[in-house]
Amino acid sequence: MSALSNKVVIVTGASSGIGYATAVELGKRGANVVCVARRIDRLDQLAKEILTLGGKAIAVECDVTSRSDVDGMVATARETFGPIDVLINNAGIMPLSFMDACKVDEWTQTVDVNINGVLYGVGAVLPEMIERRTGHIINVSSVAGRKVFPGGAVYCATKFAVHALSEGLRQELASSGVRVTTIAPGLVTTELQNAITDERVKERFRSLPEDFVPLESADIAAAIIYAMESPPHVNVNEILVRPTRQEN
């Protein structure tokens, strides 16, 4: 039996990419999965798939930039399955652009989803985890949370923030039994790049070498599962995974 069997796990951004792949792996391990995003049709489909894999799941429509949505989602999760064991803060957007394009609305939205969304999730689960002296918060950051690149200033700023938040949380929670993990992927084939509107950045992605092999969502799901399945006395602080051919 998996260590994740019957664990209550919230996955934000579960309607596609890394979140979807992680939810499926949780389903295979018999977890109670709370699938969270805005596209409810996709979440319903995912919840059905998880049932066929041996897990339990609910689909909860939630915009992580809304604190009341996030509080409501966590309350629904608790009413359905009981106390939250793991929160995976995975929802994120990456509308990369050069600063001189002044896409201020995109900057604001990126900060709202990638930072405030994480904070609302943490705020909604933390008191109970501290009280129960158990729990695990997993924040999906990025290699962009370690290295800045042209066209990525705002996105990198949000992911640097995620790294800082995770590390601060980890230090403060060390004596509480609550674990904190940061996952930092390199380039993964997902829908994330679809939000890029700056043609100069799009060109950068188009110019990747033909033989470049990006990561698959399942590669990152495996890293997340590894952190979750580690025994309670082991806190996997950070996992950084790049495609073999990615230099920076």
Which residues make up the interface to ligand NDP (CB under 6 A)? 12-19, 37-39, 62-65, 90-94, 113, 140, 142, 185, 187-188, 190-192
CA-wise closest residue to 3 among 86, 82, 77: 86
Task: For the CB of residue 210, give the shortest distance to ligand NDP in the complex, in Å.
Answer: 18
Cβ 160 vs Cβ 117: under 8 Å: no
226 is catalytic: no
AA letter at 89? N
Q: Which is nearer to ligand NDP, 142 or 166 (CB)?
A: 142
Question: Which is catalytic among the residues 20, 120, 155, 226?
Answer: 155
**Smallest distance from the beta carbon of 132 to ligand NDP, in angstroms?**
26
Q: Are 46 and 122 spatial neighbours (Cβ–Cβ below 8 Å)?
A: no
Q: Which is nearer to ligand NDP, 39 or 133 (CB)?
A: 39
Q: Which two tokens stand for residue 69?
A: 């949505």
Distances (CA, A) of 177 to 33, 129, 136, 138, 235: 22, 9, 9, 14, 10
- Collapsing DSSP to helix, strand or coil, 64 comes out as coil
Q: Which is nearer to ligand NDP, 66 or 235 (CB)?
A: 66
Q: Which is nearer to ligand NDP, 175 or 248 (CB)?
A: 248
User: C-beta of 239: minimal distance to ligand NDP in Å?
Assistant: 12
Q: How far is the CB of 123 from ligand NDP (least distance, A)?
A: 16
How far apart are the C-alpha atoms of 65 and 76, rounded to whole Å? Answer: 17
Which residues are catalytic, by number?
Answer: 155
